[in-house]
Structures are given as C-alpha cells and as structure tokens.
Amino acid sequence: MTLFEFDNTYRDRYKHICGVDEAGRGPLAGDVYAAAVIFPEGVVLDEINDSKKLTEKKREKLFDEIIEKALAWCIATASVDEIEKLNILEAAKLAMQRAVAGLQIKPDIILIDGNQPPEFEADSEAIVKGDGTSQAIAAASILAKVARDRYMKELAVKYPQWQFEKHKGYGTKLHYQMLDQFGESPVHRPSFLKKYYAKKAKQDAE
C-alpha cells in the first residue's frame, strides 16, 4: 500500500484528512517544530517519504511542492523556554496543537506520527512510523524538518561559534567540541546538557 493509498482508506468517513509531525525533539539546542498538512482528494506525491529518508535537496524540493498542492498547511513551534518548562515531549505536543490550530481549514481527522499524541478536538489517530505510512504525515514531517533546518541556519548566523548550520543542534562530535570550546549559547536547552556537564565534571575531577 502506498502512502497515498493509506490516507485514502479514511476517505469514506472523513473529508479533510490532516497529517501532523514534529522535528527537533532530539537536538541540544533550538526550538522544536511541528507541521500540519491537509491535501485535496486525489493529490499524489510519488517521491514523498519520511523526511529522515530523504536528502536535504529532495526535502527542499518537496517542501515547495507540498505547499503548492496542499489544501491547507501550517508550521508552528515551541520555544526553548517552553521545552525547559514543560519537557520536550509536552513541548512537541504543544507545537503540534499550534500547527493544527493554525490551519485555515478544520480537519475531520488528524493522523499523528508516533505513539504519544496530543489531544485534539477532532477525531485523531496516532500511527507509529506514520511518516513512512501516511502521505499527509510524511508531508508534515518534511515541512517541519525543512523549516527547522532553515531556522538552525539562521541561528548559525547569529551564533557562529557553535556551527549550527552543520549539526542542526544535534549532539554530534563537532557540536560537543564547540560546547567544550565556547560553553552553551542562549539557544541551548540546559536540561539536555545535564549529562554533558556531569561527564565534563567527572573528567575535570580525574
């Protein structure tokens, strides 16, 4: 079954099928992003897939195609402060709720990637590995991922020492080297650096 065919199985019960996904739960820095997408009936994007399985160039191309062909779409965020206040799971849920709330069309059903979905007023269904199952969820994953990567490149201009354009905030070897050299930036997530600081303290004590 193709991703489009999966979504089509809901058409006999629901008109506006919305896919929702987030990007940026794992990084050590930056906001968490989410997107919501509704396609008109009959729109098929053959190249679409889980954003993690696509090249950056392919995601950028699909980003424009999704926006062009979607009936409605919205990208939303939850801030570093909200991540620290709520925890990353709840902040990601908040970003998803904001993405759905920002749609110009009210969805009849919301398909969410994962197994810990936020609550919505409309019917909703959590789908594990949904970004590789549903066209609408895959589209949302691409919008969220591309938007967040662009945001991290903007942060790289503002905070060049940490080279966010290269690692997008994820805990790579380069990122930890930059943290060793410059400490944390105003856009780092302090709660995500606890293990790093504990390890550093242990090394300094030895």
> Both 105 and 174 in a single domain?
no
Residue 204 has pLDDT above 80, yes or no: no
Last residue of a domain, one of 131, 151, 171: 151
Per-residue pLDDT at 47: 86
CATH code (residue 41)? 3.30.420.10
- Under the banding of pLDDT at 50, 70 and 90, the label for residue 49 is confident
Per-residue pLDDT at 46: 84
> Both 120 and 28 in a single domain?
yes
Q: What is the pTM of this model?
A: 0.94
| C-alpha neighbours within 13 Å on the C-beta side of residue 39 | 26
| Of the candidates 171, 165, 164, 162, the residue with the CA atom closest to the CA atom of residue 196 | 171
For the chain, the distance separating the N- and C-terminal CA atoms, rounded to the nearest angstrom, is: 56
Complete edge-to-edge strand list for the sheet that includes strand 17-23: 72-78, 32-38, 17-23, 109-113, 123-127
How far is Cα 95 from Cα 98, in angstroms, rounded to an integer? Answer: 5
How far is Cα 49 from Cα 26, in angstroms, rounded to an integer? Answer: 20
> Both 146 and 169 in a single domain?
no
> Both 20 and 87 in a single domain?
yes
The residue-averaged pLDDT of 196-201 equals 84
> Both 135 and 167 in a single domain?
no
Q: How far is CA 183 from the centre of its chain?
A: 26
Per-residue pLDDT at 197: 87
> Both 116 and 163 in a single domain?
no
Tell me the per-residue pLDDT of 95-149, one tens digit each, with 9 for 90 and over: 999 999 999 999 999 999 999 999 999 999 999 999 999 999 999 999 999 999 9
> Both 147 and 177 in a single domain?
no
Q: How many domains does the chain have?
A: 2
Per-residue pLDDT at 202: 78
- Highest mean pLDDT: which range of 49-53, 178-182, 194-198: 178-182
> Both 134 and 164 in a single domain?
no
Q: 83-110 burial, b if ≥16 CB within 10 A, otherwise e? A: beeeebeebbbbbbbbbbeebeeebebb
Tell me the per-residue pLDDT of 135-192, one tens digit each, with 9 for 90 and over: 999 999 999 999 999 999 999 999 999 999 999 999 999 999 999 999 999 999 999 9
> Both 45 and 122 in a single domain?
yes
Q: Which residues contact 180 (CB under 8 A, 6 or more apart)?
A: 200
Q: Is residue 126 part of a domain?
A: yes
- Give the domain range for residue 189: 158-200
Per-residue pLDDT at 117: 93
Under 8 Å between Cβ of 101 and 28: no
Per-residue pLDDT at 119: 94
Q: Is residue 205 part of a domain?
A: no
Tell me the per-residue pLDDT of 58-80, one tens digit each, with 9 for 90 and over: 999 999 999 999 999 999 999 99
Per-residue pLDDT at 148: 98
Tell me the per-residue pLDDT of 17-41, one tens digit each, with 9 for 90 and over: 999 999 999 999 999 999 999 999 9
> Both 107 and 169 in a single domain?
no
Phi-psi region of 61 (alpha: psi -120 to 50; beta: other; left: phi over 0): alpha
How far is Cα 38 from Cα 15, in angstroms, rounded to an integer? Answer: 10
Q: Is residue 14 part of a domain?
A: yes
> Both 18 and 113 in a single domain?
yes
- Please state the three-class secondary structure of 73-126 as a single string: EEEEEECHHHHHHHCHHHHHHHHHHHHHHCCCCCCCEEEEECCCCCCCCCEEEE
Phi-psi region of 205 (alpha: psi -120 to 50; beta: other; left: phi over 0): alpha
Report the amino acid identity of residue 36.
A
